[in-house]
Amino acid sequence: MTGGAGPVAALRVTNRGQELLELILEPYGSDHWLRPGETFVIWALTVEDVGLFEVDHEPGTVTVWAPSHAFVGDEDGEEIDCGHRRPSPPGLFRLPLP
């Protein structure tokens, strides 16, 4: 989050399913994984960016195309890092992800 008066809440995403839900924020390509019942917020940092979101959904994944000044956070505006709760890849030969 940047300095100033603070972000403007623009879009809440809640996982109402029974499994982890992947939330991808584009154009950044950041991934954030929600537990069942959990809510993340896509925050816009400028008033001009409010409402400029596009949402795509497919099983297990929600992709949000955001304005140029946005980030994923909790409901208090604290930023949630890329890879938050990312599951480990399956298989015997796993490479650690950043």
Of 19-23, 42-46, 79-83, 93-97, the poorest mean pLDDT is in 93-97
Task: Give per-residue pLDDT as tens, 30-77.
Answer: 999 999 999 999 998 877 766 788 999 999 999 999 877 899 999 888
Amino acid (one-letter) located at 79:
E
- In 3D space, the residue among 22, 53, 60 whose CA is nearest the CA of residue 40 turns out to be 22
The pLDDT value recorded for residue 2 is: 47
Task: Give per-residue pLDDT as tens, 51-60.
Answer: 788 999 999 9
Contact 54, 65 (CB under 8 A): yes
Contact 29, 18 (CB under 8 A): no
